[in-house]
Chains A and B, each alone.
Chain A
Amino acid sequence: MRGIELEVGRSEIVTLIGPNGSGKSTTAKMALGIVKPDEGVASRDKALRVGYVPQKIAVDWTLPLTVRRMMTLTCKLSRQEIDAALESTGADQLIEKEVGHLSGGEFQRVMLARAIARRPDLLVLDEPAQGVDFSGELALYELISQIRDELGCGVLLISHDLHVVMAATDQVICLNGHVCCKGTPSNVAESAEYKKLFGVRGADSLAVYRHNHDHTHLPDGRVQQADGQITEHCHPEQVAVADAAKVPPRDSDVKSDQHA
């Protein structure tokens, strides 16, 4: 991966999309400081409170761990805070269950509840909807934007799904080893195809990020442009501009300009 530049500000939802192996999770891990970039920097505000929902974690069955204890894994919380967070993700029935006995969707709800109960400044969600049933998925995305409004936290969201990105997403970044393209998603409430596909209720909370790939990715990571020219990045002129003008962004939680 190289040439990734992104920042998440307060109350901003940034969504990373891209095919498998495109470096979405690695980018998130670099932003979190779990993976150190080989080149470039990933900087966070000092004393930034982070809530993280990893893509995949397996809880060892040798661990006697109830959902209640899982909630206070990295910090102390009051009973009310635990109950409120679990209730908001629809997991309040699971509080006494062992984490190892949860289904995929239940586990995901608990993990999200755990991340938001900390009242984070930055919420990093790596495919939070995996294993969650479809109506639950819509509610989940609604919840994420609700949490953002409530806590004023920045959200870095990873989705493997090109079509289902939240209407509230402020910025969509399409990754494929580098930033292919980024921009705001256009609202699809008017789009007849999407109303047909997801129903009227679904269309209200879903948006499509329209983008056309005018270039092809070569196996070695370089890019063949529409005119047949081969370049290092999809948008060589943008990369040049971004490198030239490194103005530190104001009021932001996370900046990362990474090459790994």
Chain B
Amino acid sequence: MLDDFFIRAVIAGIGVALVAGPLGCFIVWRRLSYFGDTLAHAALLGVALALLFEINLTIAVFLVSSGVAVSLLFLQKKATLSSDALLGLLSHSALALGLVVLAFLTSVRLDLMGLLFGDVLSVSRDDIFVIYSGGAMVLTVLAFIWRPLFAATVNRELAEAEGVHPDRVNVVFMLLMAVVIAIAMKIVGVLLITALLIIPSATARRLSSGPEQMALFSALLGASAVAMGLNGSLRWDTPSGPSIVVACVGLFILSLISTTWIAKFKRATSKLRQDKKHG
């Protein structure tokens, strides 16, 4: 079954979506969508360094992304700039550095399009192994820090007063993000990682009444978007990464319409019931 490139792509994509969903919820709750972009841009620098020093690509991307994440935490404490200015600074310096380093690598033929938009159809069995073992690790750690991380997301001071260490869980969360960026890059590419993180979560928000439910829905919605997007890409010969994101957006619009309908339906039935009572 794993011999077929398409099946491998679907399995790899679903694996990434299952991990991106719950983490994406925190990105939405903490209003960090620009943070996802920053890490993704840093990923490009990671790729350049991996090629320069001939080391494993995923590991290099993880190291550079977590380096950027940790420097963000450090700068937030020290510098007198707002978080979005700091993110812009880190994001674009990493991107520019990455492009400069790439320019030195004249001997290497680089598939820049694959880097930017993902190359899910070329995933190997090893890639699948990396995605599922890395993903399982991320989800395990996330489950472990879930309560304190969520408490610190609702209110930092309240959490800290009641014995949570917000700085500690924030560092762990940022490292998990770096892992996800590293494993998701191959699937949707640098430019669209943030989309895979936040669109399924935004869709799940409309459907769920609790944080755990939202994380679960977000993972499932992301996984179905991957399956739909890849099927669409096979049928209409469209680029795979962007097709997955288009499927995510499609599900979001569908949820928008259906929740409005459900609300209307509920209002109509309750009115009917009241009319019956009085009539």
Q: Which residues of A contact B (CB under 8 A)?
A: 29, 32-34, 49-52, 54, 57, 59-60, 62-66, 69-70, 72-75, 98, 118, 124
Cα–Cα distance between A72 and B28 once the two chains are bound (Å)? 21
The residues of B that contact A64 with a CB separation of less than 8 Å are 205, 208-211, 213-214
Q: Is the CB of B158 within 8 A of A50?
A: no
Cα–Cα distance between A34 and B152 once the two chains are bound (Å)? 13
A62 contact from B29, B158, B209, B210, Cβ within 8 A: B29
Q: Which of A62, A70, A118 has the most CB of B within 10 A?
A: A62
Cα–Cα distance between A49 and B209 once the two chains are bound (Å)? 29
Q: Is the CB of B155 within 8 A of A54?
A: yes
Q: For the complex, is B147 an interface residue (Cβ under 8 Å from A)? A: yes
Cα–Cα distance between A75 and B148 once the two chains are bound (Å)? 9
Cα–Cα distance between A150 and B75 once the two chains are bound (Å)? 46
The residues of B that contact A73 with a CB separation of less than 8 Å are 147, 150-151, 154, 158-159
Min C-beta distance of B144 to chain A, whole Å = 14
Q: Is the CB of A34 within 8 A of B211?
A: no
Chain B binding surface, main DSSP class: helix
Q: Is the CB of A65 within 8 A of B157?
A: no
Chain A binding surface, main DSSP class: loop
The residues of A that contact B160 with a CB separation of less than 8 Å are 32-34
B159 contact from A66, A70, A74, Cβ within 8 A: A74
Q: Which of B31, B157, B158, B209 has the most CB of A within 10 A?
A: B158
The 29 sampled A-B contact pairs (Cβ below 8 Å) are A29-B157, A32-B160, A32-B161, A33-B161, A34-B160, A51-B162, A52-B162, A54-B155, A54-B158, A57-B155, A59-B154, A60-B29, A62-B28, A62-B31, A63-B29, A63-B153, A63-B154, A63-B211, A64-B213, A64-B214, A65-B154, A69-B210, A70-B154, A72-B147, A73-B147, A73-B150, A73-B154, A74-B148, A98-B209
Query: Contacts A50-B163, A64-B209, A124-B161 known; A74 to B29 CB distance under 8 Å?
Result: no
Q: Which residues of B contact A (CB under 8 A)?
A: 28-29, 31, 147-148, 150-151, 153-155, 157-164, 205, 208-211, 213-214
Cα–Cα distance between A235 and B214 once the two chains are bound (Å)? 56
Closest A residue to B204 using CB positions: A64
The residues of B that contact A70 with a CB separation of less than 8 Å are 154
Cα–Cα distance between A142 and B218 once the two chains are bound (Å)? 44
Cα–Cα distance between A51 and B147 once the two chains are bound (Å)? 16
Known: A60-B31, A74-B163, A74-B164. 17 other contacts (CB 8 A): A51-B162, A52-B161, A54-B155, A57-B154, A57-B155, A62-B29, A64-B205, A64-B209, A65-B154, A65-B211, A73-B151, A73-B158, A74-B159, A75-B162, A98-B209, A118-B162, A124-B161
Closest A residue to B162 using CB positions: A74
Q: Is the CB of B209 within 8 A of A66?
A: yes
Cα–Cα distance between A66 and B154 once the two chains are bound (Å)? 12
The residues of A that contact B153 with a CB separation of less than 8 Å are 63
Cα–Cα distance between A33 and B166 once the two chains are bound (Å)? 13
Cα–Cα distance between A98 and B31 once the two chains are bound (Å)? 20
Min C-beta distance of B210 to chain A, whole Å = 5
Q: Is the CB of A62 within 8 A of B211?
A: no
Min C-beta distance of A255 to chain B, whole Å = 17
Closest 10 A/B residue pairs (Cβ): A52-B161, A32-B161, A74-B162, A57-B155, A73-B151, A74-B151, A34-B157, A64-B208, A34-B160, A69-B210
Cα–Cα distance between A59 and B150 once the two chains are bound (Å)? 12
Closest B residue to A31 using CB positions: B161
Min C-beta distance of B24 to chain A, whole Å = 12
Q: Which of B150, B155, B208 has the most CB of A within 10 A?
A: B155
The residues of A that contact B211 with a CB separation of less than 8 Å are 63-65, 69
The residues of B that contact A60 with a CB separation of less than 8 Å are 29, 31, 154
Q: Is the CB of B158 within 8 A of A52?
A: yes
The residues of B that contact A34 with a CB separation of less than 8 Å are 157, 160-161
The residues of B that contact A74 with a CB separation of less than 8 Å are 147-148, 151, 158-159, 162-164
The residues of A that contact B163 with a CB separation of less than 8 Å are 49-50, 74
